[in-house]
Copies of this chain bind each other. A is one copy, B any other.
Amino acid sequence: VSQTQLPTPRDRLLDAAAHLFYEKGVGRVGVELVSQTAGVSKRTLYQQFGSKDQLIADSLVAKGPSVIEQYIRSDDTALSSRERIILVFRRLQEWSTSVGFRGCPFINTAAELADPSHPARHVAREFKLRLRAHFLQQAEAGGAADAECLADQLLIIFDGAIVQAVMDLGSCEGAATQAVATLLDAHGVSAGA
């Protein structure tokens, strides 16, 4: 007898929640809709997560890695640090023009949940800090004059470019990537680095 691993009710709830919260915003999606979409009872939802707030946090934990993979991939190690940094912004450009793009789920969560002590705010911050850590690592490997500061600047441009895409504010294609190249030059992270 072949055993196929079917998604558990918990998995289905996490998947439906992540999808719906991203598409419509956490405020506009009730537990009713999540449980219906997952095909799981509301009773099970509350048994598994206790509250909508915890479901928001846990669904972000579950979805987060696939978001990060949109712009950081493990098979980039053959490239130079400079190329690896610029690649993040090229992929952001692809992602931000793809169907269903609704911004960064971590930024959206932080914008929607005003209380900084909300459990999902903590999760959102952790995932953003992973991207910062990637920038810092590449900045150091590339010999940046001030790697910490460059990492901050790259993350600022990354998040600003997302806001620009969501709100349709830009006039000049590739403005973010060009800014990144300028900053890499200023910090001494050259093409061969």
Q: Is the CB of A172 within 8 A of B156?
A: no
Of the listed stretches A11-19, A75-83, A178-186, name the one at the interface; the rest are far from the partner chain: A178-186
- Asked if A23 is at the interface (CB within 8 A of a chain B CB), the reply is yes
Interface range on chain A: under 10, 10 to 19, 20 to 34, or 35 or more? 35 or more
Chain B positions within 8 Å of A153 at CB level: 175-176, 178-179
- Identical subunits present: 2
Q: Is the CB of A164 within 8 A of B155?
A: yes
Encode contact with B along A124-140: 1 for CB under 8 Å, 0 otherwise. Answer: 11001100100000000
Chain B positions within 8 Å of A128 at CB level: 167, 169
Q: Is the CB of B171 within 8 A of A151?
A: yes
Q: Which residues of A contact B (CB under 8 A)?
A: 23-28, 102-103, 106-108, 110-114, 116, 121, 124-125, 128-129, 132, 146, 148-149, 151-153, 155-161, 163-164, 166-172, 175-176, 178-179, 182-183, 185-186
